[in-house]
Copies of this chain bind each other. A is one copy, B any other.
Amino acid sequence: VIVFLNGRFVLEPEAVVSVFDRGFLYGDGLFETVRVHLGRPFRWPQHVERLQRGAEFLGIQLPGSPAELGRGAAGLIARNRMPEALLRVQLSRGVGPRGYSPRGADAPTLVMTLHPAPADSAAGLPRWTLSTASLRLPVGDALAMHKTCSKLPQILARAEADARGADEALLLNAAGELAEAAGSNLFWISAGRICTPPLSAGILPGITRAVVLELCTGFRWPVLEVIAGPGALRQAEAVFLTLSSWGIVEAVSLDGQPLRTSPQVARLRDAYQALMERECAGAS
């Protein structure tokens, strides 16, 4: 496998960073996971835009323009001959002096790697089981808006779900409100309306979440951003998750109790896949 590392294409054994890189020392960085379909990264401009926003927030200089980043991604996909893949883009603050202060770390590290696309993601609606994490997300956390590399809370939540035999972890915020899942955004259908927590619940503004909101608008399906407790999921007509790697995934149980399911989720997924097909097959 070939890796993009600071403007160069290198083989995996050379794809290394210094042990003094602040990404390694402190999770001081940002990343994006992008679905590559037909050789093209889906919703690339939105991912780059989020990365840029995060970099500005953290005070990290993104090396190169969005166009250069795009050329690097295209080169990586071509060199690896992986037209169906996941593209991971990581920006870290690079090497700097010891200590939390970011002063003196002025040479950021930019890495792009390709990973196999989830095998089932092309084969109909994936179905996952959920378990509620004991860890709660902070409310009103400015960092929640950015896809940072300080991910231990999400890792712990996911490890707990693993231990319970669940596929994904549901996260509530400190107020006990529905927030998101460890690696995905949360939706549910209630009285025919598509519901999702507002960004103010302390969640990541997911790219796939935004695409789903777009699709619902196109369908003239009513969408509501709702602050609700976990009981809303038990009463829902269906619950689903959105993430760039898998797209739309139906949640079929929560903490071992089955959730209701609805053909509307498969319809939304079909629309999502069709949109991805159309955009990735279209002119670059």
Number of this chain's copies in the assembly equals 2
A150 B86 Cβ-Cβ under 8 A: no
**Is the beta-carbon distance between A159 and B59 smaller than 8 angstroms?**
yes
Q: Which residues of B contact A245 (CB under 8 A)?
A: 99
Judging by beta carbons under 8 Å apart, are A86 and B103 in contact?
no
Q: Is the interface of A mostly helix, strand, loop or mixed?
A: mixed
B162 to A143, Cβ gap below 8 A? no
A100 touches B26 (CB 8 A): no
A182 at the interface (CB under 8 A from B): yes
Q: Is the CB of A15 within 8 A of B21?
A: no
| Chain B positions within 8 Å of A59 at CB level | 159
- Contact A143–B158 (Cβ < 8 Å): no
Distance to closest chain B CB from A200 (angstroms): 15
A119 to chain B, nearest CB (A): 13
Which A positions have Cβ atoms within 8 angstroms of B?
3, 5, 12, 15-21, 23-28, 31, 33, 58-59, 86, 88, 90, 92, 98-103, 111, 113, 115, 134-136, 138-139, 141-143, 148-159, 162, 174, 182-183, 245
A156 contacts B58, C-beta separation under 8 Å: yes
Q: Is the CB of A174 within 8 A of B138?
A: yes
Q: Pick the contact of A92 from B24, B58, B151 — CB < 8 Å?
A: B24
Which residue of B is nearest A4, CB measured?
B19
Distance A227 CA – B142 CA, assembled complex (angstroms): 25
Given contacts A100-B154, A101-B155, A150-B153, 5 further A-B contacts (CB under 8 A): A19-B111, A25-B90, A26-B155, A102-B162, A150-B152
Bound Cα distance A3, B21 (Å): 14
**Bound form: Cα–Cα A33–B26 in Å:** 13
Contact B26 A149 (CB under 8 A): yes
Interface centre among A27, A153, A156 (most CB of B within 10 A): A27
Cross-chain pairs A/B with CB under 8 angstroms, 29 sampled: A15-B19, A15-B20, A17-B19, A19-B90, A19-B111, A24-B90, A24-B149, A26-B151, A26-B152, A27-B27, A27-B149, A27-B150, A28-B155, A58-B152, A58-B155, A58-B156, A98-B115, A99-B158, A99-B183, A100-B182, A101-B155, A103-B162, A135-B141, A136-B138, A138-B138, A142-B156, A143-B152, A150-B150, A150-B153
Which residues of B are found within 8 Å of A113, using beta-carbon distances? Answer: 19-20
Closest B residue to A153 using CB positions = B143
